[in-house]
Structure 1
Amino acid sequence: MTPSSYRTRPWTNPALGMATAVAVVTLTACGGGASADGANGDASASAAAPQGVLTAKAAASVVDHYEKVNNKANAALDKELLGTVEAGQLYAMDKASYTLIATLSKKDQKAYRSPFTYQDRRYVIPAKGTATWFAVQAKSSDTGHNSSFMVFDKVDSAYKLVLTVWAEDGEALPEPALDKNGLAEAVNPGTKVGKFAPPDVGAAYEDLLETGGAKAGKNLASTTLVKQALKTYKDSSTNGTADGIATKKFFTKPPADPSVYALRTADGGVLALFPLAHTQEILLKEAYRSSRSLVPSEEQSALGAARGDLITDRFEGKGMAELTPTAARITALDWQHVDSR
């Protein structure tokens, strides 16, 4: 399997150690407005209401700054500049995407470098003193109706985008549960929901590729993404690759950033956002090693692979799952090929 790569475009930080109150604020304009000075209501209520880690207006400024710098970095394929506004799992994936731009068609290269904006933003702001991060639900001007959930965290004293997950085409993101004060609840990632805590979901998915779901993967609900992973395992185990002259196996690896985020949803479940990583090993069968060799693809060559008996590819990914006491449903995934040897 070569998991599909997604562009850096509008495409975690230490896990929270406690339940967190979070304000959800909607700004109709991309960059906010004069009415968005805070996340806690009018002045008469501000003394009693929890204060956010930053105001909605400040959050809007962070996202505006990210848009501006990311667009500039994309146009120049400047990894160092991108690193001033991105970190964590997202940055690990996006640095590799810059390396692979040259393997795309001229049309796709032009589209990748074109500017974008985030629209229809909703800011999810944790209570002051309980977290260092805030989140944004938004759509991108270059992906139409697709919705994303983005997490910005403080890294090196600056807010950086560390994780972004996109909903499937036409699908809405789950609604956060709101209390009487309009606050949402961030769930401690270590909290078990049914058979899984949020950090366990990524490893369970990887088990589908590595063993066909012989271990934790068997406890995942049978979504389209799970069925695809099982098919990949079966095809690889049965047919190998390279017209049958090589084997292909997957091995779970620690992700570049293991951080996980989780929120309570309006239907009583938990929305989990998690990283993934694995290697894919393509090994020439012994009978062919004296006369044949594996030839890396253009993408593999760009990432460092050379002709030989073995090619090892590394993929970093991120996903979204909806957890309830009775089911764990993976609803979105995206991948980036980051290394090849």
Structure 2
Amino acid sequence: MRTALRALPLLVSAALLATAATACTSGDDTPADATSASTPAAPKLTPALSDAQARAVITNYSKINNKANAQRDRALLDTVEDGPTYAMSVSDYTETEGLPKAARKPYKPWSYDISSAKLYIPRFTAGQDRWFAAALSGEKGKDPSRIAVFAERPKDKRWEMSTVVDLDSTKLPDIALDGSGYATAVAATGNKQLAADADVLRTAVIDNFATGGTNTGTKVFAPTRASNQQIKVHEETTRKFGKLGTTTFAGGTNRFKDAYALKTADGGALLLFAHTHTQTDAVAHSGLQINPDKDDNAWLHGIPRTSVTYTFICADAATVPAKAAPSRLIGYRCARTDASGPPVGSARTDRA
């Protein structure tokens, strides 16, 4: 009889207790009416939308999201979600559909508490892609514990949630606001005014998983609960099989390169970005096999494997200083979106 190893993919979230003017454009700190006799007037900056309109976007999101989730309606969900958020939601649908009907938990409707939502609405020039960020709570009366970005899709005349991150704590970043209460969007990539941009942060996050932060993770990030949790995932997961198998992490193909940044009161920025990483479990030698967990049924169909590669899509948030100093990873959220591996070509055995 073959000795069986149990596949234990780590689905982690930085909610340990319970936004670049666009991805490619930068904000402008120059007042819209700043002019001089020798220079042309700066492009006029106007708010992405009003406070009331932003709250209506969030309310509509909760309503449509509930309706889509109840039926696992991907097309309907696609009208209010985009980017990594949509990909992670669809993976949850897929995982649920892989379970026997009796094992599927009844869906419980929810909504974001609009009264406690904190809005960060930037100003943009004509032609720039518009977006805004919001700190949100899913429980009435509770402080916000998530930060989300809603981006406009002009072609479809709608706003969609592009990314959402679970935060380490309810203490929010100190976003810089102008005299009218509007935030300032800054470039998330290639920004020389920041200690690190989205590309550097993404590489460091992946290194936390891949090496425990040895190469760049602990150099780019100061210790935080979120960063420490990623390192803990590396340390515990790579040892879980002992001498019977191995686990390795690596960066994956990232389809979601959009990143968003807001200027903070200290001159730095809050950055929200996405990354993709893989986790590969493999048996140490012939005669061993990995028996997929029931939550893997949608992808692995209960067939024993000699190795399994899981793909995770994640959303991350970090505060970055303007000076050369470590950044702080303040939250992240991951979902398994795929799993594959070669079958052993034999009947399933009992789990170890």
- Counterpart of 2:316 in structure 1: which amino acid? G
- Counterpart of 1:77 in structure 2: which amino acid? R
The total of aligned residue pairs comes to: 304
User: How far apart are the structure 1 equivalents of 2:166 and 2:101?
Assistant: 23
Aligned to 1:338: 337
2:12 to 1, 4, 20: 4
- C-alpha change, 1:203 and 1:143, in structure 2 (3 Å) is farther
Aligned to 1:276: 275
CA contact (8 A) 1:146 1:166 kept: no
User: How far apart are the structure 2 equivalents of 1:118 and 1:256?
Assistant: 31
User: How far apart are the structure 2 equivalents of 1:230 and 1:148?
Assistant: 22
Q: Report how far residue 212 of structure 1 moved.
A: 3.0
User: How far apart are the structure 2 equivalents of 1:3 and 1:144?
Assistant: 25
Deviations 1:270-292 (A, max 9, x none): 11111121110011112xx1x22
Aligned to 1:40: none
- C-alpha change, 1:338 and 1:266, in structure 2 (3 Å) is same
Aligned to 1:322: 319
Name the SS of the counterpart of 2:312 in structure 1: strand
- C-alpha change, 1:299 and 1:266, in structure 2 (3 Å) is same
User: How far apart are the structure 2 equivalents of 1:250 and 1:316?
Assistant: 13
- Counterpart of 1:224 in structure 2: which amino acid? R
1:123 to 113, 116, 119: 119
Alignment of 1:1-341 (within 5 A): 2-4=10-12, 15-20=23-28, 50-101=45-96, 109-110=105-106, 112-119=107-114, 120-128=116-124, 129=126, 130-141=128-139, 144-155=142-153, 156-157=155-156, 158-169=158-169, 171-190=170-189, 191-192=191-192, 195-219=195-219, 220-237=221-238, 239=239, 241-242=240-241, 244-286=243-285, 289=286, 291-304=287-300, 306-324=303-321, 325=323, 326-341=325-340
RCO comparison, higher one (Cα < 8 Å, 6+): 2
User: How far apart are the structure 2 equivalents of 1:104 and 1:52?
Assistant: 48
Aligned to 2:343: none
Name the SS of the counterpart of 2:196 in structure 1: coil
RMSD (Å), alpha carbons: 3.0
- Counterpart of 1:318 in structure 2: which amino acid? A
CA contact (8 A) 2:22 2:260 kept: no
Q: Report how far residue 236 of structure 1 moved.
A: 4.5
CA contact (8 A) 2:14 2:333 kept: yes
CA contact (8 A) 2:13 2:332 kept: no
Q: Report how far residue 104 of structure 1 moved.
A: 11
Aligned to 2:349: none
CA contact (8 A) 1:13 1:259 kept: no
Deviations 1:282-322 (A, max 9, x none): 11112xx1x22111111122233631211111111111111
- C-alpha change, 1:226 and 1:321, in structure 2 (3 Å) is same
User: How far apart are the structure 1 equivalents of 2:81 and 2:27?
Assistant: 26
Percent identity over the alignment is: 26
Q: Report how far residue 105 of structure 1 moved.
A: 11
Q: Report how far residue 122 of structure 1 moved.
A: 3.1
- C-alpha change, 1:54 and 1:182, in structure 2 (3 Å) is closer
- C-alpha change, 1:137 and 1:218, in structure 2 (3 Å) is closer
User: How far apart are the structure 1 equivalents of 2:53 and 2:80?
Assistant: 15
* Bigger mean CA offset, 258-267 vs 302-311: 302-311
Name the SS of the counterpart of 2:288 in structure 1: coil
- C-alpha change, 1:282 and 1:150, in structure 2 (3 Å) is same
TM-score (norm 1): 0.79
Name the SS of the counterpart of 1:186 in structure 2: coil
CA contact (8 A) 1:270 1:322 kept: yes
User: How far apart are the structure 1 equivalents of 2:132 and 2:233?
Assistant: 36
